[in-house]
């Protein structure tokens, strides 16, 4: 029931996202244009279908991917502070992007217009594979994962800073912009890739949901239910890698969603992962769509990178939720 | 007898003065000038070795000196990194350019005072864009404490105000005041002509959108009230991004651009954009630049602008934002914005004249382009 309400809220905010922008395209025009594109002038068509719609869809997809990944991450690490950022995946992606932006370095076989996204994806994914390999080698406990992840986090952070240090002012600006996240990077191909990744991974997440619920009670309890905990962690990590790498590669690093989406979902639907995982995905989508609206409307005509908005708008909202819960409890 | 002795002393003294005046060690004079940052700086002449806080200021030296590369004893690596083709151009005239020691990479934080000190230049010329700036107070103090005068020039922060003064400063430093005055006259005459006609004609200003690094970044970085935006206003245009951007540059929403539907669209590019964005600048042919511009004009959103439908789509070499040759960009803008008013102005000719009269290393390439081939 709550999930249905959440889904309805996502749909509503998504529509609001589609209907906001700096141009004079009116509410009714846009609605009509969605149903019958032929009623729009060429300009209005492009605004609605080629500027707003890709960004709005990307917002939803990225929200789903990051928040779902965050929910899994918090469970397998048994850590409420975990998010796709904790293990350095985002920094690895930023480093890959930076190699392209600052050094013009491209991995072989990646076409020029995919230079930045391609690099970002490869580095994000490779860092998680490396993490998995190390974890497997030294026992995939939550603690080992976190420690290796923290090492990765700082290593890639330092590498990104090294790139920033040697960058020219112009490439530095571009790299810094990249790390702030921006939905203007969206296009249909990228949305298709990210949606495919979600469609591919989500069923496996759902299939693992009862094991994840068991894991929330601790490694020992989960084992007593017959859950192969290490295996569960590694597969989950793989899913997280796919979701995060695609999302981050396409829009840049966007913090907060992967951390807070799952928490909001947990407040709403509780710990049962059959509800928590879809709930997190929906909360993530909701937050991203709301942030997308804000990034366009705070300074009309100017795009404020969405990574900034998610934190600035999201944090007070999150704090308010936490306090509400405290009072009710 | 006494008068003979007196005469001998006088003769010896005169001889001494003559010898001293003729010997290089004693011929050094000094020049005291006020630089762009408003500081009074005394520099011993002649200046033979300079360090450039920004490698791209080599163009400014090339306006005044027959072999600018030979003057540079150390520099930041921005010319090679940001405008590799122009670097090649200078190398074709003097391969020693590859041996100039680096004193930093392309930004202020990589600038090494120690390296500069070890080079012992006659003067350090800083210009703020990508290198040490007036903010680098500590570096400036250290250099000056070591007896290396620091002079600030500027073609970047306030190009319309400071370009002329910067050339004058370089003229004094290099002992090329005549050549500097000639360039200043050439530059100022052209600038004045544009300013005067625009003031008198009271034309309607066409709306202009400048898309920086088109296709290289996500849409749409644009200059606001500063940077290349200043050229737009000076040349009689109305910069649509200046109405909304809080800073000198920023990211404009594509939807805003579509909605404002500017009369004129200008993309910028350069050697850094070859293969992906607008290929333009040194060694680029007009056909290649136009082809790249065509691809940009077909980008989603951009293709709906009436500027595209009306063929008022142009491309500009990005480095004009920090160059003493910026008059070429300003003339090109004036002509694009008000073709009838400036029918007699020809930036091509201006470049050709700068090449013939001033530049030791003539610029070779296409630095501005229009989508529709212009009638010549």
Counting every residue written for chain A, the total comes to 329
Q: Per mean pLDDT, which range of A152-161, B14-23, B183-192 is the poorest?
A: B14-23
Q: What is the DSSP string of A61-108?
A: HHHHHHHHHHHHHHHHTT-TT--TTTTTHHHHHHHHHHHHHHH----T
Query: Are A52 and B253 a contacting pair at CB < 8 A?
Result: no
Contact B304, B258 (CB under 8 A): yes
B78: chain A residues, CB-CB within 8 Å: 168
Nearest CA in chain A to B318: A170
pLDDT tens per residue, range A177-199: 888 888 888 889 999 999 999 99
Higher local confidence (pLDDT), B8 or B61: B61
Higher local confidence (pLDDT), B12 or B226: B226
Closest CA–CA distance from residue A22 to any residue of chain B (Å): 6
Instruction: Determine the pLDDT at residue B26.
Output: 44
B282 CB contacts (<8 Å, ≥6 apart)? Answer: B83, B85, B86, B88, B89, B271, B363, B364, B365
From its phi and psi, is residue A304 left (phi > 0), alpha (psi between -120 and 50) or beta? beta
A23: chain B residues, CB-CB within 8 Å: 255-256, 258-259
Nearest CA in chain B to A24: B259
Instruction: Determine the pLDDT at residue B182.
Output: 97
Q: Choose the mutation target among B246, B258, B261, B292 for the interface with A, i.e. most A CBs under 10 Å.
A: B258
| Closest by Cβ to B245, choosing from A165, A170, A302 | A302
At residue B358, does pLDDT exceed 90?
A: yes
At residue B16, does pLDDT exceed 90?
A: no
Counting every residue written for chain B, the total comes to 376
B245: chain A residues, CB-CB within 8 Å: 302
* B376: confidence class by pLDDT, cuts 50, 70, 90: low
Query: Are B78 and A177 a contacting pair at CB < 8 A?
Result: no
Contact A64, A198 (CB under 8 A): yes
Nearest CA in chain B to A42: B304
| Closest by Cβ to B218, choosing from A47, A170, A184 | A184
| Closest by Cβ to A22, choosing from B105, B219, B253 | B253
By DSSP bridging, strand B238-239 and strand B123-126 are unpaired
CA distance B203 to B218: 34
Instruction: Determine the pLDDT at residue B11.
Output: 56
Q: How many CA atoms lie within 13 A of A157 on its CB side?
A: 10
Instruction: Determine the pLDDT at residue B235.
Output: 96
At residue B3, does pLDDT exceed 80?
A: no
Query: Are B301 and A184 a contacting pair at CB < 8 A?
Result: no
Query: Are B250 and A51 a contacting pair at CB < 8 A?
Result: no
H-only helix segments in chain B: 2-22, 58-64, 68-71, 78-82, 84-93, 113-119, 137-145, 159-174, 177-201, 228-234, 254-260, 286-297, 306-309, 326-337, 347-357
Of A302, A27, A316, the residue nearest B250 (C-alpha) = A302
* B328: confidence class by pLDDT, cuts 50, 70, 90: very high
Query: Are A168 and B244 a contacting pair at CB < 8 A?
Result: no
CA distance B77 to A210: 58
Nearest CA in chain B to A297: B253
As given in the structure block, the two tokens for residue B235 are: 């040349």
3-state secondary structure of B155: coil
Q: What is the DSSP string of B35-92?
A: -TTS-EEEEEES---EEESSGGGHHHHHHH-S-HHHHEEEEETHHHHH-HHHHHHHHH
Query: Are A165 and B275 a contacting pair at CB < 8 A?
Result: no
3-state secondary structure of B117: helix
pLDDT tens per residue, range A194-242: 999 999 999 999 999 999 999 988 888 888 888 888 889 889 989 999 9
By DSSP bridging, strand B207-211 and strand B313-317 are unpaired
Closest CA–CA distance from residue B106 to any residue of chain A (Å): 5
Decide: residue B5, CB within 10 A, 0-12 exposed, 13-18 middle, 19+ buried: exposed
**Upstream peptide bond of B220 is cis (omega within 30 degrees of 0):** yes
Contact B190, B331 (CB under 8 A): yes
Low-confidence ranges of chain A (pLDDT < 70): 140, 325-329
Query: Are A46 and B300 a contacting pair at CB < 8 A?
Result: yes
Nearest CA in chain B to A43: B304
* B107: confidence class by pLDDT, cuts 50, 70, 90: confident
Query: Are A42 and B304 a contacting pair at CB < 8 A?
Result: yes
H-only helix segments in chain A: 2-19, 27-35, 42-45, 53-76, 89-103, 115-137, 142-166, 169-180, 188-207, 209-215, 219-224, 229-251, 257-269, 273-297, 306-328
Contact A241, A65 (CB under 8 A): no
Closest CA–CA distance from residue A157 to any residue of chain B (Å): 18
Query: Are B107 and A172 a contacting pair at CB < 8 A?
Result: yes
CA distance B174 to B166: 12
The pTM of the full predicted model, rounded to 2 decimals, is 0.85
Query: Are A296 and B253 a contacting pair at CB < 8 A?
Result: yes
pLDDT tens per residue, range B22-58: 444 445 689 999 999 999 999 999 999 999 999 999 9
CA distance B158 to B228: 10
Query: Are B256 and A301 a contacting pair at CB < 8 A?
Result: yes
Closest CA–CA distance from residue A150 to any residue of chain B (Å): 28
Of B130, B197, B145, B242, the residue nearest B337 (C-alpha) = B197
Q: How many CA atoms lie within 13 A of A221 on its CB side?
A: 9
CA distance A257 to A264: 10
Of B364, B362, B273, the residue nearest B318 (C-alpha) = B273
CA distance readout (Å), B129 to B56, B154, B157, B319: 10, 8, 8, 11
Q: How many CA atoms lie within 13 A of B94 on its CB side?
A: 17
Instruction: Determine the pLDDT at residue B24.
Output: 46
CA distance B309 to A286: 39
Question: CA-based Rg of chain A, rounded to a whole angstrom?
Answer: 20
Higher local confidence (pLDDT), B105 or B49: B49
Nearest CA in chain B to A304: B251
Query: Are A112 and B258 a contacting pair at CB < 8 A?
Result: no
pLDDT tens per residue, range B274-321: 888 999 999 999 999 999 999 999 998 999 999 999 999 999 999 999
Query: Are B251 and A169 a contacting pair at CB < 8 A?
Result: no
CA distance readout (Å), B187 to A161, A313, B182, B347, B354: 42, 50, 9, 12, 10
B243: chain A residues, CB-CB within 8 Å: 301
| Closest by Cβ to A22, choosing from B213, B246, B255 | B255
At residue B21, does pLDDT exceed 60?
A: no
Nearest CA in chain B to A185: B218
By DSSP bridging, strand B102-104 and strand B207-211 are unpaired
A contact set with B (CB within 8 A):
21-24, 42-43, 46-47, 50-52, 112-113, 115, 165-170, 172, 174, 177, 182, 184-185, 187, 296, 299-303, 305
As given in the structure block, the two tokens for residue B267 are: 């993309």
Query: Are B251 and A47 a contacting pair at CB < 8 A?
Result: no
Closest CA–CA distance from residue B130 to any residue of chain A (Å): 6
Instruction: Determine the pLDDT at residue B274.
Output: 85
Query: Are A168 and B250 a contacting pair at CB < 8 A?
Result: no
3-state secondary structure of A321: helix
CA distance B367 to B278: 11
Q: Number of Cβ pairs closer than 8 Å across A and B?
A: 96
């Amino acid at each position: 029931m709550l999930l249905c309400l959440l889904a309805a809220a996502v749909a509503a905010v998504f529509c609001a996202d589609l209907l906001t922008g700096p141009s004079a395209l009116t509410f009714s025009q846009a609605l009509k244009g969605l149903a019958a594109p032929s009623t729009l002038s060429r300009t209005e068509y492009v605004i609605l279908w080629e500027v707003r719609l890709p960004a709005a869809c990307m917002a939803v997809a990225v929200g789903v991917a990051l928040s779902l990944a965050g929910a899994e991450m918090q469970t397998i690490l048994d850590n409420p502070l975990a998010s796709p950022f904790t293990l350095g995946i985002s920094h690895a992606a930023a480093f890959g992007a930076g190699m392209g932006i600052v050094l013009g370095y491209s991995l072989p076989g990646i076409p020029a217009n995919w230079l930045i996204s391609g690099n970002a994806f490869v580095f994000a994914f490779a860092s998680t594979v490396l993490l998995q390999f190390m974890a497997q080698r030294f026992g995939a406990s939550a603690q080992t994962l976190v420690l290796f992840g923290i090492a990765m986090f700082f290593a890639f952070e330092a590498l990104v800073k090294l790139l920033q240090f040697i960058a020219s002012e112009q490439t530095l600006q571009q790299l810094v912009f990249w790390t702030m996240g921006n939905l203007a990077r969206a296009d249909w191909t990228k949305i298709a890739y990210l949606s495919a990744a979600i469609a591919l991974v989500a069923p496996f997440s759902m299939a693992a949901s009862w094991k994840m619920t068991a894991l929330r009670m601790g490694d020992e309890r989960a084992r007593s239910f017959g859950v192969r905990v290490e295996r569960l962690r590694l597969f989950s990590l793989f899913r997280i890698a796919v979701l995060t790498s695609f999302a981050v590669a396409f829009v840049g690093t966007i913090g907060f969603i992967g951390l807070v989406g799952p928490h909001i979902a947990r407040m709403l639907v509780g710990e049962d992962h059959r509800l928590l995982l879809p709930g997190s995905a929906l909360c993530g989508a909701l937050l991203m769509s709301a942030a997308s609206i804000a990034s366009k409307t705070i300074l009309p005509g100017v795009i404020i990178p969405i990574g900034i908005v998610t934190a600035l708008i999201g944090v007070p909202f999150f704090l308010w939720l936490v306090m509400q819960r405290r009072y009710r409890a | 007898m006494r008068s003979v002795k007196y005469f001998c002393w006088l003769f010896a003294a005169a001889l001494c003065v003559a010898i001293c005046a003729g010997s290089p060690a004693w011929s050094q004079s000094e020049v005291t000038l006020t630089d762009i940052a408003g500081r009074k700086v005394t520099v011993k002449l002649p200046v033979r070795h300079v360090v450039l806080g920004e490698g791209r200021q080599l163009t400014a030296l090339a306006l005044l000196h027959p072999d600018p590369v030979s003057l540079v004893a150390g520099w930041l690596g921005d010319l090679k990194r940001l405008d590799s083709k122009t670097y090649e151009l200078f190398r074709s005239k003097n391969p020693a350019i590859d041996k100039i020691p680096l004193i930093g990479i392309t930004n202020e934080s990589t600038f090494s005072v120690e390296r500069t000190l070890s080079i012992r230049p006659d003067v350090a010329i800083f210009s703020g864009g990508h290198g040490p700036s007036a903010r680098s107070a500590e570096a400036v103090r250290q250099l000056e404490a070591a007896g290396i005068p620091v002079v600030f020039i500027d073609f970047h922060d306030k190009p319309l105000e400071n370009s002329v003064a910067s050339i004058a400063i370089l003229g004094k430093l290099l002992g090329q005041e005549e050549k500097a005055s000639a360039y200043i006259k050439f530059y100022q005459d052209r600038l004045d002509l544009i300013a005067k006609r625009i003031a008198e004609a009271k034309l309607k200003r066409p709306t202009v959108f400048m898309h920086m690094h088109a296709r290289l970044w996500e849409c749409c970085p644009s200059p606001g009230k500063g940077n290349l935006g200043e050229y737009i206003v000076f040349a009689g245009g109305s910069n649509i991004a200046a109405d909304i951007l809080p800073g000198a540059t920023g990211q404009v929403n594509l939807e805003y651009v579509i909605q404002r539907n500017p009369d004129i669209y200008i993309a910028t590019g350069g050697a850094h954009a070859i293969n992906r964005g607008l290929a333009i600048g040194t060694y680029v042919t007009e056909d290649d630049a136009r082809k790249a511009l065509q691809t940009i004009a077909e980008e989603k959103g951009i293709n709906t602008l009436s500027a595209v439908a009306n063929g008022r789509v142009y491309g500009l070499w990005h480095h004009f934002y920090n160059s003493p040759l910026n008059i070429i960009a300003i003339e090109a803008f004036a002509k694009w914005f008000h073709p009838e008013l400036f029918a007699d102005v020809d930036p091509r000719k201006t470049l050709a004249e700068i090449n013939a009269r001033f530049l030791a290393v003539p610029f070779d390439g296409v630095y501005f382009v229009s989508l529709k081939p212009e009638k010549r």
